[in-house]
Structure 1
Amino acid sequence: MVATAAAFAVSLSGCGGSEQDGPASSSDTAAAGKEGDARVVKTVMGDVEVGAAPERVVVLDTDALDSAVTLGVTPVGATTVVDKAPFSTYLPADKLKGIEPVGLIAEPNLEAIAALKPDLILSNKVRDEKNYASLSKIAPTVLSDTTGPTWRENFQLHADALGKKNEAAAVVADYDAHVKRLTEALGGAAKAKETKVGFVRFVEGADTRLYLNDTFVGSIFKDLQVGRPANQDTTGFSLDVSAEQIDKANADVIFYSTYGDPKKAKETDTVGGPLWKNLDAVKRKTAFKVDDNLWMLGIGYTGAGQILDAMEKNYAGAGPR
């Protein structure tokens, strides 16, 4: 599968502090909603006044894009991972039609955003704390604290800002039902727990990453109640290993993806080497290559649902043998 520049999104560190203005109210922005329609949304940056039903929404990270599309809103603008990169390709193309690029994640183009006359901007503190004062002068700006494993809480915040709480409840119920179906397909919670599941990401320009529990994929594994290899069943983002340490990826089931060129990311040599071939999942034919774009950028309910679909297709029923 063709890899995208998703590593940027998962490796970008938190932004430093910057001068902060108070949250913009609807009276301070050109597009905060009709007079009398304003609602207060509680955010990590304080209370933000938002119009009743924002229609011109700009999203500045992939989780906010997933939330908007999941809730039936096509943003007028969105950032991309790198210049001229497509928006999240796992999302339906018709739901992305007409979205204008407004710079890069963590480096939004403020002039391009202002030109779209948004009535709501969605992002997170990790990416855009430094831009918050400027963004708030353009439109009400709702930031979550971070991204990744907090995707469920972020979705609720986005739904509140978009005036879509009822729709959000239905989305959550559908996801919970999907998790239950897949857990049952894996033989039930007890059997699922016996199956040790790992995620490996080959990254061009960096060591290979074994993803831990404080990640988007780690949270989905937890929802399914699957087991985790002991060295990956811990808090944190990733355990980084060299090609010579790939035996540390051992698990009953392995999902793996690649960012960048497979050769430069060491996937080609590693997967073709003896250590990889000796892993339990590889010997059992339960090591599955998956779409890096989806598993790394699909930080929301639509992405999570598609990951559950992929897991069900690949290995439902796989367990210790």
Structure 2
Amino acid sequence: MKKKFLAVATISMIALLTLGACGNDSKKTDDSASKESDSKSATTITVKDSNGSIEVPKNPKKVVVFDNGSLDTMDALGVGSTVIGAPTKNLPKYLDSYKKVESAGGIKEPDLEKINQMKPDLIIISGRQQDFQDKLSKIAPTIYLSVDAKDTWNSTKKNIETLAEIFDKKDEAKTKIADLEKEISAVKEKAQASDEKALVVLVNEGQLSAYGKGSRFGIVHDTFGFKQADDKIEASTHGQSVSYEYVLEKNPDILFVVDRTKAIGGDDSNDNVANNELVKQANAGKNGKVISLQPDVWYLSGGGLESTHLMIEDVQKALK
């Protein structure tokens, strides 16, 4: 009888220990799941890009960047070391230091296989790569940061703030944005106080296109405050095709020139707009105000902290 009692007691004790162990294991599993969930929520963030809301990594360590404006913003915010890939053959001169990173393909045609091998945490694109967004999104979260030609500075500022949120650099971005806004206000005040009217043209192997408000280079008018020599220019990505006779007819006091050929290569022997006989007869030619804008900044970049500052420096030449 005594032996039977001891056997029952032993079995009961084992059962209790087993249940306790199972309970502890269950608790550990629950705790682990909770910690994993907390960790996941702490390492991702939901931001708004040009397409809407998107979940991206917080402080990503490996980033492929196709948008040069975003690249220069990251550089200015001190997070350029996270860039592992870019369209290195199409970088503007002021971003030359990033030619050392892996080539991610052309500026209009990403190398999907190469990017997949890089295993990025985040991919940043502009309008030039928008057709590839779905394919890139299968490799890593892909954000599209565009600049609204009808509201250039505010959309630029929004993109800067989005990147600052992703990389936890809100304070730095706030300071740099404030500095830029002071520069913009100073330029705009002078431009609006002047009676001079400006025209922006892009030259490509001798052919001209004009740009006004709401266009690719509309920042000259809507942000920097220069009056338009022609307020009837059709707003489009590629500009309105015009002639040198048109330039003389509109007779701008300031002629801003973006040389596309110098930005991407080609025959620029006919791109010296200031030397054209008809341009020389216009007010801009007579007064030495045919201003060559930095082509790689204006054509290949824009919409970033550094590029906006460089653009301000360029247009200031017309106000001296």
Q: Which AA in structure 2 matches 1:242?
A: S
1:128 shift after superposition: 3.5
| Candidates 113, 122, 125, aligned match of 1:123 | 125
User: Does residue 301 of structure 1 match 2:305?
Assistant: yes
Matched residue SS, 1:247: helix
Residue pair 1:78, 1:99 contacting (<8 A) in 2 also: yes
Instruction: State how many pairs are aligned.
Output: 270
Using the alignment, how far apart are the partners of 1:215 and 1:265 within structure 2?
Answer: 27
1:116 shift after superposition: 2.0
Matched residue SS, 1:104: coil
Mean CA deviation greater in 151-160 or 105-114: 151-160
Residues 290, 48 of structure 1: alpha-carbon distance in 2 compared, 3 angstrom cutoff: closer
Residue pair 1:151, 1:216 contacting (<8 A) in 2 also: no
| Candidates 37, 41, 46, aligned match of 2:47 | 41
Residues 264, 219 of structure 1: alpha-carbon distance in 2 compared, 3 angstrom cutoff: closer
Using the alignment, how far apart are the partners of 1:308 and 1:259 within structure 2?
Answer: 19
In structure 2, what is the equivalent of residue 251 of structure 1? 252
User: Does residue 77 of structure 1 match 2:79?
Assistant: no
Higher helix share: 2
Residues 67, 248 of structure 1: alpha-carbon distance in 2 compared, 3 angstrom cutoff: farther
Matched residue SS, 2:123: strand
Using the alignment, how far apart are the partners of 1:242 and 1:265 within structure 2?
Answer: 17
1:59 shift after superposition: 0.8
In structure 1, what is the equivalent of residue 34 of structure 2? none
1:306 shift after superposition: 1.1
- Cα shift readout 1:84-110 (whole Å, capped 9, x = no counterpart): x2522123x44x263221001231111
Residues 169, 244 of structure 1: alpha-carbon distance in 2 compared, 3 angstrom cutoff: same
What does residue range 1-321 of structure 1 map to in structure 2 within 5 Å? 35=40, 36-74=42-80, 75-80=83-88, 85-91=89-95, 93-94=96-97, 96=98, 98-124=100-126, 126-144=127-145, 149=152, 150-184=155-189, 186=190, 190-192=192-194, 194-204=195-205, 207-231=207-231, 235-237=235-237, 238-248=239-249, 250-260=251-261, 266-268=270-272, 271-299=274-302, 300-312=304-316, 314-317=317-320
Which structure 1 segments of 5+ residues have no match?
1-33
- Cα shift readout 1:290-321 (whole Å, capped 9, x = no counterpart): 32112222312211101212332x2324xxxx
Using the alignment, how far apart are the partners of 2:291 and 2:187 within structure 1?
Answer: 17
Using the alignment, how far apart are the partners of 2:258 and 2:50 within structure 1?
Answer: 33
Using the alignment, how far apart are the partners of 2:227 and 2:50 within structure 1?
Answer: 33
Matched residue SS, 2:310: helix
Using the alignment, how far apart are the partners of 1:217 and 1:130 within structure 2?
Answer: 23
1:281 shift after superposition: 0.9
Mean CA deviation greater in 231-240 or 280-289: 231-240
Moved over 6 A (4+): none
Q: Which AA in structure 1 matches 2:75?
A: V
Q: Which AA in structure 2 matches 1:257?
A: V
1:52 shift after superposition: 1.9
1:183 shift after superposition: 3.9
Using the alignment, how far apart are the partners of 1:173 and 1:76 within structure 2?
Answer: 29
Residue pair 2:212, 2:221 contacting (<8 A) in 1 also: no
Using the alignment, how far apart are the partners of 1:243 and 1:220 within structure 2?
Answer: 21
Using the alignment, how far apart are the partners of 2:164 and 2:201 within structure 1?
Answer: 32
Matched residue SS, 2:104: strand
Residue pair 2:215, 2:235 contacting (<8 A) in 1 also: no
Residue pair 2:198, 2:226 contacting (<8 A) in 1 also: yes
TM-score (norm 1): 0.73
Matched residue SS, 1:260: helix
1:64 shift after superposition: 2.3
Which structure 2 segments of 5+ residues have no match?
1-38
Task: Tell which has more relative contact order, 1 or 2 (C-alpha 8 A, sep 6+).
Answer: 1
Residue pair 1:211, 1:232 contacting (<8 A) in 2 also: no
- Cα shift readout 1:20-60 (whole Å, capped 9, x = no counterpart): xxxxxxxxxxxxxx633211123344532222211211112
1:133 shift after superposition: 2.9
RMSD, matched Cα: 2.8
Using the alignment, how far apart are the partners of 2:281 and 2:315 within structure 1?
Answer: 22
Residue pair 1:210, 1:249 contacting (<8 A) in 2 also: no
Using the alignment, how far apart are the partners of 2:291 and 2:134 within structure 1?
Answer: 44
Residue pair 1:39, 1:51 contacting (<8 A) in 2 also: yes
Residues 267, 174 of structure 1: alpha-carbon distance in 2 compared, 3 angstrom cutoff: same
